[in-house]
Amino acid sequence: MSTKKRVYIVSIVTFFLIAVFTGCSLTGSGTETSGPPSFRVESIVNTSPADRSLRDLETPVTELWVMTVNEGNNEPIAHQNAYDILTYLPDAEGSYEIPMEELPSAPFVVFIVETYSDGTYNVLGFLSLSVDEETAIMTFPTPEEIVAPVEFGNVVVTEETGYISFSEITLTQNQSAFNAEAFDDLHEYAVFHNTGQMALNVLLNTKQNPSTSSWDYYAVGLSMGYHTDLSSHASTSADVSWNSDVSINIYSHDTTSQASLFTPSGDNLNGEGIFPAAQVNSATKFFVNVPMSTFTAQALPGEFWELRNESGEVLASFDMSVAMLTDDSGYPIMPIMEPSYSLEDGTAEIDTVDFNWFYFLSDGTTRVALEDTAVLDELIGKSEFHLQANTDGVTYMYREPGGGGAGGMEGDILTAHTFSPTLTESSFTSEVSAGYRFTLLRCSTDWNEE
């Protein structure tokens, strides 16, 4: 399978926020539908300029491809999700229906795909359910949480919104189609459900080897960090002290290649003529550090970063615009912490740490507190979250303490307590850092009191 390159005219900082409609309305009361749970699409309208250079004589078939988005050990969206793609064709009137009973019990995305008779395809975008004229949902809950037909009406796909389509009928109008908890989650945390667009790179870079019947894959992830001042609070995303570099990590079973990552403009990020060997004993087979300014400037929808070997063969292609959610100023949209602490009575030992999670909306100025443990567990999770006391070499995690620097702590993702070994105030305020994962991002932060 292959995909053609799509070029867009908007930047990464706004591509998922602009809605373009042709004869579609977002107003109206809730839909009245009956029947078993399903997705119903009246039509798909593609307003993107036609690229006839590849297919001058053939009209493609527009299909809907359903893919689950389960996490993997080192992959935010495991490559195994691409093994079993469910495909749905239009009926004679150009409408689509996806019965929920046919889907696995997992969150999922729906690709809008043009297919050709030679087996190639072009991903136009994601089937998305409009929240309002600026936002849409692309990652849907498990089929069990969908209790009635979800009506999309006419769906518009346009280059001006990147990979996000917009539906004629909104999430609010479909409220009765979801159970109460699922609807509240979709409505309140709509922006985080757009992280499902990262499934695009999984689809494009997971392929079955025809000679061995095994699956080859290359999965991309990012690592980035920021600094927190314990004595002040960030009022905008620009107030956060973001690290200047982002690390691009590529996971794969490939242990033999020598390869380097190239930007869409053709620059070898490791330096001209340098192709490092795959790291045999690491889950990360290839990695490179990139200035954040370089990353955001070239991480545009439809622009592909290529992993090439010494012979110039392209091993994988990644659209980095789907690798990170960004706000209008180009800063990451992600859970951020500003920790506070209390001491054991009459001592200099830490009693509790409140992490005070929050994030900024796409405007970069609206700060939203994250106070729901269940939501945070889903976004971040406790299994990888840790505090690192750098001088002592102790890593505190939610576990029983052990030897060799394996520290323990109790609590939840909002508040930690009962640190073992003891965590002192001087250590916490001067040399402790935290690490956690949010979708494709491996995040780290350190802090101090000024």
- C-alpha pair distances (Å), 269 with each of 94, 292, 296, 324: 45, 13, 15, 19
The residue-averaged pLDDT of 236-262 equals 93
pLDDT at 342: 96
Q: Name the band, by pLDDT with cuts 50, 70 and 90, for residue 391.
A: confident
For residue 13, is pLDDT > 70?
no
pLDDT at 56: 57
For residue 184, is pLDDT > 80?
yes
Question: What is the tens place of the pLDDT at every residue in 275-328?
Answer: 999 998 888 899 999 998 889 889 988 899 999 999 999 999 999 988 888 888
Average pLDDT along the chain: 86
For residue 109, is pLDDT > 50?
yes
- For the chain, the farthest-separated pair of C-alpha atoms sits apart, in whole angstroms, at 81
Query: The tokens of 174 are what?
Result: 């479909």
pLDDT above 90 covers what percent of the chain?
A: 60
The residue-averaged pLDDT of 188-205 equals 84
pLDDT at 22: 31
Q: Evaluate the omega torsion of the peptide bond into residue 141 and state whether it is cis, within 30 degrees of 0.
A: no
Residue 199 DSSP symbol: H
The structure's pTM equals: 0.82
Cβ neighbours around 436 below 10 Å, total: 23
Residue 59 DSSP symbol: P
Question: What is the tens place of the pLDDT at every residue in 144-154?
Answer: 999 999 999 99
The residue-averaged pLDDT of 114-137 equals 90
Q: Name the band, by pLDDT with cuts 50, 70 and 90, for residue 10.
A: very low
Q: Label the pairing between strands 406-411 and 394-398.
A: parallel
Cβ neighbours around 168 below 10 Å, total: 22
Contact 81, 70 (CB under 8 A): yes
Cβ neighbours around 310 below 10 Å, total: 12
Contact 81, 200 (CB under 8 A): no
More confident residue, 210 or 226: 226
pLDDT at 51: 56
pLDDT at 296: 86
- Cα dihedral 225, 201, 262, 444, rounded to 10, equals 10
Closest CA to 152 of 121, 132, 129, 126: 129
Cβ neighbours around 363 below 10 Å, total: 12
Question: What is the tens place of the pLDDT at every residue in 411-445?
Answer: 999 999 999 999 999 999 998 999 998 866 778 89
